[in-house]
Amino acid sequence: MTKSIPLLLTVDVEIATDHNMTQQTKILDKLNTDLKSLPMTWFCTAVAAEEFSSPLKRLQEAGHEIGCHGLDHSKDDNYQRMSEDRANMAISEATDRITKAIGKRPRCFRGPRMTTSKQTQSALLTYGYQGDFSVCAQRIDLLTCGGANMLWLFAPRGAYHPSEKNPFYRGKMPLSVVNLSCLGVPFLSGILYLGGLRFMQRFFDALLVEARHTGNPIVYLFHSYEFAELTHPGGQPIHQRAYINDRNRRYEMNLELLQYMCRLPEVQPMTAITFLEKKHE
């Protein structure tokens, strides 16, 4: 009997002030319609959960999971640099605001710009979280990620329990760290826009070979605002300026990639919390 491979499709949802706001709202319902019954995890900032409350509730009703992506994705919303007191206040506030906006308490977390720390993970446990999705093991394009940490190069691949002293080492904390999939470069939509659909399909094939051998989940990431029109060009990082500009084509490429990943019976799409619950059965 072929062992199933968990596929965690994740979306970071934040307010992108340089993109069309009306389209950012509408795209959530469009994705809900086009993805149909494909379960995904939507990591939302507290501000985004309040702004997009109605479409996010509809996603939740359709079987998707709403996770926490911090407060507002500002420069100060950095969970790698926060003190213990600040991390506790930020996680507490973000959790309460998302719960009020969506009607259900988040149980999984991804820091803005993939930021986390031992203080943050301690706060996550205090407020009932089960998973931290803020690490990308063996990622070497560190200059393109604001939350990058050199210790990512030594972090375990797949899912692990972190040390109380270091979020990137194995330990005994009753919290699961689940890595964004990576083979030198991360498995996310920016690479899709740079390398093209065929490259990403081969990328997935390579991750699938690893997953069959190790049992690691495959984790993919894109942002909902990527499909809204850019209203204030020029402020994007250099590597993002090389992305495909056509927002409709970006959307189609992501759908085509998701369809490719889900074509095999052994690949089992699931939400983050479903994966963690199955992992502990």
Domain ranges of the chain: 5-279
CA torsion through residues 103, 104, 105, 106, sign: negative
| For residues 135-162, average pLDDT | 82
Per-residue pLDDT, 143: 53
Q: For the residues of 95-130, what is the DSSP string, one character each?
A: HHHHHHHHSS---EE--GGG---HHHHHHHHHTT--
Per-residue pLDDT, 146: 65
Q: Judge whether residue 192 has pLDDT over 90.
A: yes
Structure tokens at 167: 């979020």
* 223-232 confidence digits (pLDDT tens): 999 999 999 7
Per-residue pLDDT, 254: 98
Q: Could you say which DSSP state residue 259 is in?
A: H
* 200-254 confidence digits (pLDDT tens): 999 999 999 999 999 999 999 999 999 999 997 767 766 677 788 899 999 999 9
Share of the chain above pLDDT 70, in %: 94
Q: Judge whether residue 61 has pLDDT over 60.
A: yes
Q: Which CATH superfamily is domain 5-279 in?
A: Glycoside hydrolase/deacetylase (3.20.20.370)
Q: Judge whether residue 131 has pLDDT over 70.
A: yes
* 88-103 confidence digits (pLDDT tens): 999 999 999 999 999 9
* 103-127 confidence digits (pLDDT tens): 999 999 999 999 999 999 999 999 9
